[in-house]
Chain A
Amino acid sequence: MKVSRGDVEHIMKLAYLDLKGEEKEKMIHHFSRILEYFAKLQELDTANVEPLSHVIEESTPLRDDEVGEGLSQEDVLGMAPDKEGGYIKVPRIV
C-alpha cells in the first residue's frame, strides 16, 4: 500500500512536526512498510476472533476518592519554559 506525500504532510500537521523534503520521502517509505505489514496481518481470517485491546483480561483497579499530595506551584512552573503570575505562559495559539 502506497502512502502519499499528502498523507505524510497530514500526519506531520497533526503531530506538530516539521520535516524536510528528504525526511518526508523517508517517512513515505517507513509508513508504507508499516502498512504493508498490517496488510499481511489482515490476510488472516479473524471473523470468529474477539477484538483484543488489552492483553490482561482483568478490570482496571479502582481508587478511593481521597485527596493526596500533589506538586507545588513552584515545581510546576519550574518545568515550564515561561511563566507569568502563577500561570504557564504559552505562545500565541492562532
Chain B
Amino acid sequence: MELKPVIGLEIHCQLLTKTKLFCSCPTDYVGREPNTIVCPVCLGLPGSLPVLNKEALKLALRAALALNCTILKKTRFHRKNYFYPDLPKAYQISQYDIPLAVNGYLVIDGKRIRIRRVHMEEDAGKLVHPTKTGRLEGAEYSLVDFNRCGVPLIEIVTEPDISSPEEARNFVMELRSLVQHLGVSDGNMEEGSLRCDANISISVDGKFGTKTEIKNMNSFKAIERALAYEINRHMEVILSGGEVIQETRHWDDSKGITTSLRGKEEAHDYRYFPEPDLLPLFISDEMVSEISKTMPELPWDRRNRWKMDFGLGDYEVFVLSSSKVLGDFFDACVREIGKPKEVSNWIQVELLRIVDDLRLKIEDCYFAIPYLKEVLELLEKGVINNQVAKAVFEESIRERRAPIDIVKSKGLEQVSDEEALKDAVKRVLEENEDAVKSYLSGKDKAFNFLLGQVMKVTKGKANPAVVRKVLEEELKALS
C-alpha cells in the first residue's frame, strides 16, 4: 500500500491599496480605535452601493499575471451568504464561477505548482472574545470591530500539487516574496495580511482520499508543523482501518495539534448568486498589457540577475530574496560599494546577526551602508584584520559612528611590522614552554595555540599572516 500526502493551499493576501475594495474608507486598520473607519457601504446599510476600487483590480491582475494565469475577459462578483457577526451585510462580495484569473503556476525548486484560480473578495471584520485564550469557545459574548470589513483581498487557490509540508512552506515563502516584490501585499503573516489554509488528504495507491481543511496556521513554521501533524493523523486513521472524516480543523500552535471545528462551521451552504449591485467586469487587453509592461522585477528574475551578474550561489540568493526589503538593501549596498560577493557575505553573516541582536529592521539600516563600505576598505588596505573589522562594523551600527573613528580612537590598526611582532612572539614562546615542546615533538596543533596566544597579547590587532610567518621562523630557530 502506497500512501502519499496530497496538499492544496488557499492563500489570502491583503492588497496594498489606500482604500477598501468597494468604498473609500482607509485600509490601515492596525492599531486603530475600533469602528472608526467604516461607512454605509462596508456596513451594508440599506441604500448604499459598492463601487470597485481600480487600484485593487490592478494589483490583483498584477499578481495573477506574475502567477502565469490566464486573465478572464469577462468576470463578475457573487454574494457568498452566511450569518456571522463579523460580516455586517450577512454576505461577502466574492467571486465564484468566473474568477478574475485561472490556470497559472508557480515554480518551487524546479517543480510547477499549478494555480487553479485567483479571485478578488472583501475581508470581514474582527471579533474579540473576552476569554483567557482569546478563542471563541466559552465566550459569554463577543465584541465586533468592523474596521477590517471590506479591505481588499485576493484569494489564490492551488491545485493539489504539493506533496510535503516542506514544499507547502516553500510555496508560501515564494508566494510571499512574490507579492512583496510586486507591491501587491506586505505579506505579513503575523498581522494576518497573508493567511494560508490547507486542504490535505492521503492518496492510497494513487486513489485520492478524504480531505480535511486546516486553518489558523500563522507562520511558515506553523504551516510545516500543522501539515506534518495532519499527515500523521490521516496515516494513522488509514493504517488502523478507519476512515478520515471530511471536516475543517483548527491548528493549535501551542499544543502542536489540530482539533475539529465541526459544529461551528457546519454544513456550508453559501447560496452564491451574482451580486446585483455590481455590473459584470470586463478586463480590456489594454489594461492587461499596461500592467504587463509595468511589472517590477520578480524574485526569480532577481535571483538570476544576482547569480549571473554577481556570481552568487543558490543558497546566497535564496537567503537574500527571502524578503523584498533584504533584497532591496543588498542591491542598494552593491550600488554604493560594489564587491557583491563580499557584500552578500557581510550582510548574511554579520549584518543579519547584528540586526537581530540590536532589534533593528533591515529597512532602517541604510545608514550602515557607508559604514560597511569603509570597513571593507580598511580591511582591503590592511589597516584592520578580519576579526577587528567585524567588531568595528557592529560597533559602528550600535553607536552610529564611522568605523575609521572607532579604529583610530581605540588604536585598532593592524600591526604588520615584523620587528614589532617579534617581541610578542618571543614573549609567548617563553611563557608557553609546554606548547613549544609539544610542537617541536611533532604536534602541529600546538602551532595554532601559540598563534592564538600571540593574537591575544596583541589584543587581536596583529596581522595573522605576519604572525604566522614570524612564529614559524622563531620556532624553526628553536628546533
Binding site for B on A (CB under 8 A): 10, 14, 16, 53-54, 56-73, 76-77, 79, 84-94
A61 and B52 in contact (CB under 8 A), knowing A90-B85, A94-B137? yes
Is B281 in the interface zone, CB < 8 Å from A? yes
B136 at the interface (CB under 8 A from A): yes
Residues of chain B having any CB pair with chain A under 8 Å: 17-19, 23-26, 33-40, 43, 51-57, 76, 81-85, 127-128, 136-137, 139-146, 263-264, 269, 271, 274, 276, 278-282
Ranked nearest first, the 8 interchain pairs of A and B with the lowest CB-CB distance are A68-B24, A87-B143, A65-B55, A53-B274, A59-B282, A60-B279, A70-B39, A62-B54
Partner of B51, one of A54, A63, A85, A86: A63
Question: Bound state CA distance, A69 and B274, in angstroms?
Answer: 29
Q: What CA separation (Å) do A57 and B282 show in the bound complex?
A: 9
B37 proximity list for chain A (CB < 8 A):
70
A residues less than 8 Å from B76 (CB atoms): 53-54
Contact status B24-A63, CB under 8 Å? yes
Whether B85 and A54, one on each chain, are in contact in the complex, defined by CB atoms closer than 8 angstroms, is no
Majority DSSP secondary structure for residues of B touching A: loop
Q: Are B18's CB and A65's CB within 8 A?
A: yes
Do B264 and A14 have beta carbons less than 8 Å apart? no
Interface centre among A54, A60, A77 (most CB of B within 10 A): A60
Q: Could you tell me the distance in whole angstroms from the C-beta of A72 to the nearest C-beta in chain B?
A: 8
Contact partners of A72 in chain B: CB under 8 A: 36
Nearest CB of chain A from residue B32's CB, rounded to whole Å: 10
**30 pairs of residues in contact across A and B, judged by CB atoms under 8 Å:** A10-B269, A14-B269, A16-B83, A54-B279, A56-B279, A57-B280, A59-B279, A59-B282, A62-B52, A62-B54, A62-B57, A63-B51, A63-B52, A63-B53, A63-B54, A65-B18, A68-B23, A68-B39, A70-B39, A77-B35, A87-B128, A87-B143, A88-B143, A88-B144, A89-B142, A89-B143, A92-B141, A93-B139, A94-B263, A94-B264
Q: Check A91–B141 contact: CB distance below 8 A.
A: yes
B37 to chain A: closest residue by CB: A70
Alpha-carbon separation in the docked complex, A67 to B53 (Å) = 11
User: How far is A72 from B271 in the complex, measured between Cα atoms in Å?
Assistant: 33
Is A90 a contact partner of B141 (Cβ separation < 8 A)?
A: yes
Given pairs A60-B278, A84-B143, 14 additional interface contacts (CB within 8 A) = A53-B76, A54-B279, A59-B279, A60-B51, A61-B51, A62-B54, A63-B53, A67-B18, A67-B26, A68-B19, A72-B36, A86-B35, A87-B35, A87-B144
Is B280's CB under 8 angstroms from A54's CB? yes
Interchain CA distance A85-B36 in the complex, whole Å: 12
List the B residue with the shortest CB-CB distance to A60.
B279
Q: Report chain B residues within 8 Å CB of A53.
A: 76, 274, 280
Closest Cβ–Cβ distance, residue B340 to chain A (whole Å) = 37
Do residues A73 and B33 form an inter-chain contact, with CB atoms below 8 A?
yes
Report Cα–Cα, A25/B144, bound state, in Å. Answer: 37
